[in-house]
Chains A and B, each alone.
Chain A
Amino acid sequence: MLTLPVFAWSRPKTVDEAMRVLAASPGECLIVAGGTDAVPNLKHRLHEPKRLVHLGGIEELRGIRVTDAGLEVGALVTLTELAAHPYVREHYAGVADAAEHVASPQIRNMGTVGGNLCLDTRCTYYNQTFFWREALGFCLKKDGTRCHVVPQGKRCVAAHSSDVAPVWIALGAQVEIATPGADGASGAVTRRLLPVEAFFVGDGVHNNVLVPGELVTRVLVPASSLGVRTAYRKLRPRAAIDFPMLSVAVAARGDASRIEALRVVVSALGAKPRTLGGLDAIAVGKPHDAALAEAVGAVAFKQCHPLSNVPYDTDWRHDMVPVFVKRAAPGALGVDA
């Protein structure tokens, strides 16, 4: 059977304590919340940390709050809690729907909002056992220097695979990050906020801006986004368990007779979600009709290029981009798909 590697274990009670633990062994810690992704990855030796820092004891990271500023979702909120929350369901249906599309009920009971946001990128040549990867020759994401998806590629293209992140991006949500003080362990911890869209970077080895010692603490959806409707569509071979082969999040203002704003985010392509460009010119001020749906689908097809990082027919996934965009859009405009 596959075994876990040997590691030390910490279970801090506060964010400050977690930050001290992280600062004490810079770059050698793996942060774990639900463990649903970390544990199989540890068994595959995709992570080889000296220490696991388990966030489960940090009460302040729990809970969903609605304030004048907007919706605050703690990093330790489980995907089940997020999907079931009445306010989320009422105002951010696409967020709840995306959370419900993750894996299976058991995994959603354990998996957290923070973990989902920080989900490691996935690739058919990476998410394999050590034995398998060694047999093939290691890749540049872990232990090697070459890319098996894009020969001669210099940059890892492992796929961003979070279901919820595309919806956060479409909504304009922000992520709060705890950052160590200038002198590490002894300095005062600060918090910085940035748009979820800016959280991700196009490098599959490490596809977000977090530096060692940093920690995601919350996701914030500004109150200004109230009135934006969201919808999520996920391409997966099975009705449960699978990571996305393709995912589409749509956020819109207005309705079918007049679109006031439209954002479409497509993911499970490369290392970061792709926000479609050029939609304002096509969509804003227009009614949502067949011609518009075609036009938006055509933009999506042109801008999105699935790779063989995800082990499923690449051409077909490309063909499905406009189909899924067309199918997601009505939900964000208050019409039945």
Chain B
Amino acid sequence: MLPAVTDIDAALAHPEWQVNEKAGEGNISKHVRLEFGDVDGALAAADHVVEGDYWYEGSTHAPLEPHCCVAEFDATGLLTVWSSTQVAHYLHRDLAKVLNLPTQRVRVIQPVVGGGFGGKSEPFSLEFAAAKLSMVTGRPVKILYTREEVFYAHRGRHPMRLRYRTGMNADGMIAGTDALVQLDGGAYSSFGLVTTYYSGQLLTAPYALPAYRFDSTRLFTNKPACGPKRGHGSVQPRFAFECQLDKLSERAGIDPIDVRRRNFIGERTKTVNGMRVTSNGFLECLDAVERESGWAGKFRRMPYGRGIGVAGSMYISGTNYCIYPNEMPQSAVQLRLDRSGRATVMSGCSDIGQGVESVLAYIVCEELGLDLRDVRVVAGDTDLTPVDLGAYSSRETFMVGNACLDAARHLRIKIAQTLAERWGVSPGEIVLADGVACATSDPAQFAISVKEAFQRAEARHGTLGSVGWYQSPKLGGEYRGGTIGASPAYSFTAHVAEVDCDPETGFVAVKHIWVAHDCGRALNPVTVEGQMEGSAYMGFGEALLETQRYKDAAPGHAFGLHQGPSLLDYRMPTSLDTPELHALIVESVDPEGPYGAKEAGEGPLHPSIPAIANAIYDALGVRCDALPFDPPSVARLLRGGDARANWERARAQVGGPR
């Protein structure tokens, strides 16, 4: 038996202790090195260069509902699997492949899911096991993971060790960045190829990086496999980079919000790694958090122990990259209307609590003038709905929303044509709104209910139905891996966090997080705010509390065992610990999204961690470069250096009276 490999160092030092025989070499799961521009030249010429090591502790998703599935193989040879998955389509494919069944004899139904956060975005052993047991026994089989099994199934956020070197010129402009990233992947690949790319590819906005290099290596270790968690692969590098920007701002003697403004990449542009940026509301995000937080009166101006910090980020609105390359739509919708005045939307989308089913209903209502209660959404059933790739990479509102808009507009045109013919007006004059169909030229004469309008259209065209679909345009850089990180639109976020620290104990209380997010357009502001608050909360929990740790070898007998696979020992913040969260929606109205919408589910998490780290520096004069910022760690930092002197110096530099 080989010795256990439980961390990055052991995985690198002992290629002969191979964890996964699929590794091409030693314990290397994936290696990516990409360089854009002359990084070494840019750093050599920069006025200030900051170099540092950062550690991002991994984390679990912790949805309240553990993974669960029921499988039934019936007498006709149809396998039906009900699963708390967020990717019904991929599960459908893999069940057929693994169990050697024709895909048309497999049906996957995704019921209401109690949270996913990326943790249910690939098929798990329970689905195959339940299906196989049902095939063998002819009886329905149910498997529900314990919380401990959820921790072992994992696919959580990768621990990453990051070494960053960033240069800045005296005017506050970023010169270049050099990143060396090592990912602790656990024992299997999961989506590790994508994670490895994302750990570099998603750093190139909202700031223009004139030169950028990343070298990322994912390693296999004898631990539960890591995978995608909210902000897949890009939360960890964002932490390191935004902390570096804070340090460089201090070196350059420029307010860190101003530094971020100066380096704004702009809209309708391309990043250094070839990603097309359409709308970009990042400056409005910075303005919003600066104004709402009272930044100018607080930064470097509060008493010792209290502090404020800023960070920014970008994220994708859906990936261009399907896990199996094909030319078919990424998302499709079927829509039907009938004489009862009701619309039914059928979509393979996965509602995991984010509310995508309601988004489809809003779109149909907007296009056809219906009351929300008169739209039914049938989703997450591979027998009843056309394919959608699932709830991951923040793609649902953007992609299935566009598909739904496409379908609804086809029917809207048919109805408008029908009424225009009857009333002798042009189709462009027909409006469907608030349950009424009318002609704008003479609404007093030409107005009927939308129900009657449906009936007239059904009489004119026959049974009313349409399909709509979305396929993203070809995007990305012209190099190997250049499509990974490419998205039809990017969201942008800025956070300001305010902390109140106890220098005697090391306890950090986050009092406020102002989170401004450019979501393109908020189709439902309440659910967008919910995503922003939930993201900020989740990032805050990872920053201060969550510890996905394994017992170390020190006592000699708990090597590699999870420290506490339960929600008592894996501590997530309670409502009492949670700061006041201020969600500030910014709408840039993207040309590619449905009504201008972009994503809101993952982007708003990213700046949480660095904004808190930067706020702790403002409060205490210590740099938290390793997660989590728990009291023992902060206390150690306070004991270890000249915290107070750093704090005084930083204040003297930026904090004089204005």
Encode contact with B along A148-161: 1 for CB under 8 Å, 0 otherwise.
Answer: 11010000000000
A24 at the interface (CB under 8 A from B): no
B146 at the interface (CB under 8 A from A): yes
Q: Per a CB cutoff under 8 Å, which of B148, B504, B555 touches A132? A: B148
A290 at the interface (CB under 8 A from B): no
For the A-B complex with A104-B574, A237-B571 known, give 7 more contacts whose Cβ atoms are closer than 8 Å: A128-B564, A129-B565, A136-B558, A149-B555, A238-B573, A238-B574, A315-B632
Contact A323 B505 (CB under 8 A): yes
With a CB–CB cut-off of 8 A, which chain A residues contact B574? 104, 238-241
Q: Per a CB cutoff under 8 Å, which of A131, A311, A320 touches B564? A: A311
A49 at the interface (CB under 8 A from B): no
Contact B144 A1 (CB under 8 A): yes
With a CB–CB cut-off of 8 A, which chain A residues contact B385? none
Output the nearest chain A residue to B572 by Cβ-Cβ distance: A238
Show 11 A/B contacts (Cβ-Cβ < 8 Å), sorted by A. Answer: A1-B146, A128-B564, A132-B561, A132-B562, A132-B565, A151-B557, A241-B571, A241-B574, A313-B630, A313-B632, A316-B632
Contact B563 A136 (CB under 8 A): no
Q: How far is the CB of B607 from chain A (nearest CB, A)?
A: 23
B51 at the interface (CB under 8 A from A): no
Instruction: Kindly state the separation between the CA atoms of A240 and B545 in the bound complex, as whole angstroms.
Output: 13
Instruction: Kindly state the separation between the CA atoms of A223 and B238 in the bound complex, as whole angstroms.
Output: 61
A232 at the interface (CB under 8 A from B): no
Contact B505 A320 (CB under 8 A): yes
From A104, A128, A308, name the one whose CB has the most chain B CB atoms within 10 angstroms: A128
With a CB–CB cut-off of 8 A, which chain A residues contact B504? 323
Contact B635 A311 (CB under 8 A): no
Which B395-430 residues have a C-beta within 8 angstroms of A? none
With a CB–CB cut-off of 8 A, which chain B residues contact A135? 561
Instruction: Kindly state the separation between the CA atoms of A45 and B632 in the bound complex, as whole angstroms.
Output: 33
Output the nearest chain A residue to B507 by Cβ-Cβ distance: A237
Which A235-286 residues have a C-beta within 8 angstroms of B? 237-242
Known pairs A238-B571, A320-B505; A136 contacts B144 (CB<8 A): no
B123 at the interface (CB under 8 A from A): no
Contact B558 A148 (CB under 8 A): yes
Which B533-587 residues have a C-beta within 8 angstroms of A? 545, 555-558, 561-566, 568-569, 571, 573-577
A9 at the interface (CB under 8 A from B): no
A319 at the interface (CB under 8 A from B): yes
A303 at the interface (CB under 8 A from B): no
Interface on A for B, CB 8 Å cutoff?
1-2, 104, 124-125, 127-129, 131-132, 135-137, 148-149, 151, 237-242, 308, 311-313, 315-316, 319-320, 323
Q: How far is the CB of A136 from chain B (nearest CB, A)?
A: 6
Output the nearest chain B residue to A312 by Cβ-Cβ distance: B632
Known pairs A129-B148, A237-B630, A238-B545; A148 contacts B577 (CB<8 A): no
Q: Per a CB cutoff under 8 Å, which of B148, B555, B631 touches A131? A: B148
Instruction: Kindly state the separation between the CA atoms of A63 and B456 in the bound complex, as whole angstroms.
Output: 73
Contact B556 A151 (CB under 8 A): yes
With a CB–CB cut-off of 8 A, which chain A residues contact B632? 312-313, 315-316
Instruction: Kindly state the separation between the CA atoms of A135 and B565 in the bound complex, as whole angstroms.
Output: 13
With a CB–CB cut-off of 8 A, which chain B residues contact A313? 630, 632
Q: Per a CB cutoff under 8 Å, which of A128, A240, A319, A323 touches B576? A: A240
B506 at the interface (CB under 8 A from A): yes
Contact A129 B146 (CB under 8 A): yes
With a CB–CB cut-off of 8 A, which chain B residues contact A316? 506, 631-632, 635-636
Contact A136 B561 (CB under 8 A): yes
Contact B557 A136 (CB under 8 A): yes
Instruction: Kindly state the separation between the CA atoms of A315 and B505 in the bound complex, as whole angstroms.
Output: 12
Contact B635 A319 (CB under 8 A): yes
Instruction: Kindly state the separation between the CA atoms of A148 and B555 in the bound complex, as whole angstroms.
Output: 7
Known pairs A237-B630, A316-B635, A323-B505; A124 contacts B564 (CB<8 A): yes
Instruction: Kindly state the separation between the CA atoms of A311 and B561 in the bound complex, as whole angstroms.
Output: 13
Instruction: Kindly state the separation between the CA atoms of A320 and B631 in the bound complex, as whole angstroms.
Output: 10
Instruction: Kindly state the separation between the CA atoms of A149 and B551 in the bound complex, as whole angstroms.
Output: 12
Contact A148 B146 (CB under 8 A): no
Q: Per a CB cutoff under 8 Å, which of A104, A239, A312 touches B577? A: A239
Instruction: Kindly state the separation between the CA atoms of A127 and B567 in the bound complex, as whole angstroms.
Output: 12
Instruction: Kindly state the separation between the CA atoms of A104 and B567 in the bound complex, as whole angstroms.
Output: 14
Contact B563 A311 (CB under 8 A): yes
Q: Which 6 A-B pairs have the closest CB atoms?
A: A313-B632, A316-B632, A239-B576, A240-B574, A1-B144, A240-B576
Contact B631 A237 (CB under 8 A): yes
Instruction: Kindly state the separation between the CA atoms of A1 and B504 in the bound complex, as whole angstroms.
Output: 42
Q: How far is the CB of B577 from chain A (nearest CB, A)?
A: 5
Instruction: Kindly state the separation between the CA atoms of A129 and B566 in the bound complex, as whole angstroms.
Output: 9
Instruction: Kindly state the separation between the CA atoms of A242 and B556 in the bound complex, as whole angstroms.
Output: 27
Instruction: Kindly state the separation between the CA atoms of A128 and B151 in the bound complex, as whole angstroms.
Output: 13
Instruction: Kindly state the separation between the CA atoms of A209 and B558 in the bound complex, as whole angstroms.
Output: 32
With a CB–CB cut-off of 8 A, which chain A residues contact B144? 1
Instruction: Kindly state the separation between the CA atoms of A312 and B564 in the bound complex, as whole angstroms.
Output: 11
With a CB–CB cut-off of 8 A, which chain A residues contact B577? 238-240
Instruction: Kindly state the separation between the CA atoms of A207 and B481 in the bound complex, as whole angstroms.
Output: 61
With a CB–CB cut-off of 8 A, which chain A residues contact B630? 237, 313
Output the nearest chain B residue to A125 by Cβ-Cβ distance: B558
Contact A237 B506 (CB under 8 A): no
With a CB–CB cut-off of 8 A, which chain B residues contact A323? 504-505
Instruction: Kindly state the separation between the CA atoms of A241 and B566 in the bound complex, as whole angstroms.
Output: 13
Q: How far is the CB of A337 from chain B (nearest CB, A)?
A: 12
Contact A124 B563 (CB under 8 A): yes
Output the nearest chain A residue to B565 by Cβ-Cβ distance: A132
Instruction: Kindly state the separation between the CA atoms of A135 and B566 in the bound complex, as whole angstroms.
Output: 16
Instruction: Kindly state the separation between the CA atoms of A30 and B172 in the bound complex, as whole angstroms.
Output: 68
Instruction: Kindly state the separation between the CA atoms of A237 and B571 in the bound complex, as whole angstroms.
Output: 8
Instruction: Kindly state the separation between the CA atoms of A267 and B146 in the bound complex, as whole angstroms.
Output: 32
Instruction: Kindly state the separation between the CA atoms of A240 and B561 in the bound complex, as whole angstroms.
Output: 26
Known pairs A137-B557, A148-B557, A313-B632; A238 contacts B576 (CB<8 A): yes
Output the nearest chain B residue to A40 by Cβ-Cβ distance: B568
With a CB–CB cut-off of 8 A, which chain A residues contact B558? 125, 136, 148
With a CB–CB cut-off of 8 A, which chain B residues contact A128? 564-566
Instruction: Kindly state the separation between the CA atoms of A148 and B554 in the bound complex, as whole angstroms.
Output: 11
Instruction: Kindly state the separation between the CA atoms of A241 and B568 in the bound complex, as whole angstroms.
Output: 8
With a CB–CB cut-off of 8 A, which chain B residues contact A311? 563-564, 569
Q: How far is the CB of A186 from chain B (nearest CB, A)?
A: 43
Output the nearest chain B residue to A124 by Cβ-Cβ distance: B564
Output the nearest chain B residue to A317 by Cβ-Cβ distance: B632
Output the nearest chain A residue to B639 by Cβ-Cβ distance: A319
Output the nearest chain A residue to B152 by Cβ-Cβ distance: A131
Output the nearest chain B residue to A150 by Cβ-Cβ distance: B555
Instruction: Kindly state the separation between the CA atoms of A124 and B564 in the bound complex, as whole angstroms.
Output: 7
Output the nearest chain A residue to B563 by Cβ-Cβ distance: A311
Instruction: Kindly state the separation between the CA atoms of A135 and B151 in the bound complex, as whole angstroms.
Output: 15
From A104, A135, A316, name the one whose CB has the most chain B CB atoms within 10 angstroms: A316
Instruction: Kindly state the separation between the CA atoms of A275 and B556 in the bound complex, as whole angstroms.
Output: 33
Q: How far is the CB of A268 from chain B (nearest CB, A)?
A: 15
Output the nearest chain A residue to B576 by Cβ-Cβ distance: A239
Q: How far is the CB of A4 from chain B (nearest CB, A)?
A: 13
